[in-house]
């Protein structure tokens, strides 16, 4: 069997390898219910092909995979794999199991209706919720059996072709409407001491924003959740237990077929938003170290970035122990623009706007009502589709060049900020002023400008993107910079430059077109 898809260290970062070659998932995630209908999915395949995607993120549903206990039906998975192959696409399969968006709606009916075997989480008033409890429950062995059979099926049907390149375990896990599970089983666990493995891990991991726990902290072993984590106690407790549950699934799955596995996070919408308003227990930034300790068999913790704090969030999830993998993000006018920052600065392994089949449309997927709020993450349109499609095509062609600089400081991406016309970046010996063509506001339809600049060699810069001018200067004291050559063109899939035009005279400036373009500039100092 050929090498499996995998994540390797590359330079000072990470690379995702498919067929032993670096690969960026230029992707889109389909709507939640899309994969229940093969007829409906034909339209999805058509649209993702038009977007120039190379990968599709698609859900698999526990309730349909195992409608009766120990009776498995993988025909929907079989259809997904076959149709993805026919359209020359890779798949990331999303396991919608016990936990999805802070609820348990995808559990099979035989799980939902057996409250004795599969009790519900309770809120602080003792009211049962729509969320399955992990405590004093038969949930883990039941889901473990189903998930393991699902992974075995992928291996049996896809080990040679390797259409499936990764698996997401659960989706936006956590408990909504409560700060933790207050059932009797959960209360008993909460009274216990924080596991020594966790306190030692946090002391040695350094401070990533979690309660200020460092190697210099006083001895916190043998203490309660309240004593160690204070106002974060309930969230840390739920994180530890959700992460352990998901890690058991990932560990068992990888023992069968060692695909990369990850889980994703529903993030806070506002800085001071309280746990329970977002799913409490998921891998939000403040809790990443708890998750890293409890779930070592997960390769990645992934943010679903819908807020306007894109760059800040991307930075929080780009760590020495965690590559950036964006399984969900906006499909509005920021969809194409944020791609350049994700890949150019944070070296993302995956970028996937949500609602693949709705990219390019302003209508609600469910009601077909028009979206009119300019800040709505679902407001797409034909221009959005055009820019994302052309950007994906450009990135696909340039993948050997882009991935060569993953894990280095010789590549930087940028996205125009709302209401601003300029930006400044530093790359090696170059200080570069960026001027954008159009101001992005709520009352206009302009797509934010965006780009990537690569220092291909000491004196050569590659400019990608659209909607901006660039003015490089050297930081070498007393020196000025000028062109030796400036070319417009592109790269083939082997990384060879294909010149379209040599630019000089009135055209010898870094002026990117309104649509995605590549320029290659050779400079000298004098």
Q: Model confidence over 209-231: pLDDT tens digits? A: 565 565 556 667 778 999 999 99
Fold category of 6-406 in CATH = TIM Barrel (3.20.20)
CATH fold of the domain at 413-525: Chondroitinase Ac; Chain A, domain 3 (2.60.220)
Question: pTM for this one?
Answer: 0.96
Which percentage of the chain shows pLDDT scores above 90? 88
Span 228-272, pLDDT tens digits: 999 999 999 999 999 999 999 999 999 999 999 999 999 999 888
Note the pLDDT tens digit of each residue in 148-172: 999 999 999 999 999 999 999 999 9
Task: Give me the mean pLDDT over the 35-46 stretch.
Answer: 97
- What does the pLDDT average to over 520-526? 97
The pLDDT, as a whole number, for residue 221 is: 75
Per-residue pLDDT, 220: 75
pLDDT of 280 strictly over 80: yes
Q: How many CB atoms within 10 Å of residue 509?
A: 13
Q: Give residue 131's pLDDT.
A: 98
> What distance in Å separates the CA atoms of residue 305 and residue 31, rounded to the nearest whole number?
16
Both tokens of residue 4?
């499996």
Query: Smallest Cα–Cα separation from 523: which of 477, 483, 473, 492?
Result: 483
- Give CA–CA dist 137/141, Å, rounded: 9
pLDDT of residue 208 exceeding 70, the answer is no
Domain ranges of the chain: 6-406, 413-525
- Residue 15, pLDDT above cutoff 60: yes
Average pLDDT, the chain: 94
Q: Is the pLDDT of residue 205 over 90?
A: no
Confidence of residue 375 (pLDDT cuts 50, 70, 90): low
Pairing of the two strands 261-266 and 300-305: parallel
- pLDDT over 80 (residue 370): no
pLDDT of residue 204: 84
Of 38, 171, 160, residue with least CA distance to 93: 171
């Amino acid at each position: 069997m050929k090498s499996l898809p995998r994540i390797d260290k590359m330079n000072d970062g990470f690379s995702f390898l498919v067929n032993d070659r670096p690969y960026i998932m230029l992707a889109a995630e389909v709507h939640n219910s899309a994969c229940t209908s093969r007829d409906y999915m034909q339209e999805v395949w058509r649209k993702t092909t038009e977007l120039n995607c190379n990968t599709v993120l698609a859900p698999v549903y526990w309730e349909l995979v195992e409608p009766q206990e120990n009776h498995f039906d993988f025909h929907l998975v079989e259809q997904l794999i076959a149709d993805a192959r026919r359209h020359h696409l890779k798949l990331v399969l999303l396991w919608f199991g016990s936990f999805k968006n802070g609820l348990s709606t995808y559990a099979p009916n035989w799980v939902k209706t057996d409250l004795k075997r599969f009790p519900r989480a309770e809120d602080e008033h003792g009211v049962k919720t729509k969320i399955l409890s992990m405590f004093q429950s038969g949930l883990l062995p039941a889901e473990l059996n189903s998930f393991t059979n699902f992974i075995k099926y992928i291996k049996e049907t896809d080990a040679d072709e390797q259409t499936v390149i990764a698996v997401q375990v659960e989706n936006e896990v956590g408990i909504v409407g409560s700060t933790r599970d207050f059932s009797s089983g959960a209360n008993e666990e909460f009274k216990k001491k924080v596991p020594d493995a966790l306190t030692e891990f946090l002391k040695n991991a350094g401070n990533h924003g979690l309660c200020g726990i460092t190697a210099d902290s006083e001895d916190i072993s043998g203490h309660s959740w309240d004593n160690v984590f204070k106002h974060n106690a309930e969230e840390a407790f739920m994180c530890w237990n959700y992460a352990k549950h998901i890690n058991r699934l990932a560990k068992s799955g990888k023992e069968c077929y060692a695909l990369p596995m990850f889980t994703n996070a529903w993030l806070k919408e506002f800085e001071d938003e309280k746990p329970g308003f977002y799913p409490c227990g998921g891998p939000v930034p403040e809790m990443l170290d708890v998750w890293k300790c409890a779930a070592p068999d997960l390769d990645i913790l992934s943010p679903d970035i819908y807020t306007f704090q894109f760059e800040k969030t991307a930075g929080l999830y780009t760590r020495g122990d965690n590559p950036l993998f964006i399984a969900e993000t906006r499909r509005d006018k920021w969809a194409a623009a944020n791609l350049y920052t994700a890949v150019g600065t944070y070296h993302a392994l995956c970028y996937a706007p949500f609602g693949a089949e709705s990219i390019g449309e302003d209508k609600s997927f469910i009601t077909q009502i028009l979206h009119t709020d300019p800040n709505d993450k679902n407001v797409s349109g034909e221009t959005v589709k055009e820019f994302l499609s052309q950007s994906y095509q450009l990135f696909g062609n340039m993948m050997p060049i882009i991935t060569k600089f993953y894990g280095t400081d010789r590549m930087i991406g940028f996205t125009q900020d709302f209401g601003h016309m300029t930006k400044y970046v530093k790359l090696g010996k170059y200080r570069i002023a960026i001027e954008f063509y159009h101001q992005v506001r709520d009352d206009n339809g302009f797509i934010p400008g965006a780009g990537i600049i690569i220092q291909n060699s000491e004196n050569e810069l590659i400019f990608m993107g659209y909607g901006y001018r660039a003015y490089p200067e050297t930081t070498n004291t007393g020196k000025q910079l000028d062109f030796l050559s400036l070319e417009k063109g592109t790269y083939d899939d082997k990384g060879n430059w294909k010149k379209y035009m040599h630019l000089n005279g009135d055209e010898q400036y870094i002026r990117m077109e309104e649509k995605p373009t590549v320029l290659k500039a050779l400079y000298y100092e004098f």
